[in-house]
Amino acid sequence: MTKAAHLDSLLPGTKKKGPRAATSTKTVAGKTVGRAKALTVKVTPQLYRRLRLHAVDSDMSHQDILVAALEQYLR
């Protein structure tokens, strides 16, 4: 028996769960989606500044811009 399985038998209902997804719906890139997953992206400070400036110019959030760009790329 592994250590985790042993602890699970001692403490019922405390099984380790993975990251929790958001349960609310949100409009992203013009579409309503539910249970969105988080995504972390590391970018250079210069690229982040350009993204934020573009977000202000286009009246979108920088997150919505990244989601729209990723969806377009994956088509």
What pLDDT, on the 0 to 100 scale, is given for residue 35?
76
Question: How many other CB atoms sit within 10 Å of the CB of residue 55?
Answer: 16
User: Tens of pLDDT along 33-44?
Assistant: 677 788 899 999
Token pair of 41 as six digits: 């992206």
Instruction: Render pLDDT for 14-37 as a digit per residue (tens, 0 to 9).
Output: 555 555 554 566 666 677 767 778
- Distance, CA of 75 to CA of 30 (rounded, Å): 16
Is the entire prediction scored with pTM above 0.75? no
Q: Name the average pLDDT for the chain.
A: 77
Give the angle 13-22-5 at the CA atoms, nearest 5°.
Answer: 25
pLDDT at 72: 95
Q: Which residues pair with 28 in a beta bridge?
A: 31
pLDDT at 11 over 90: no
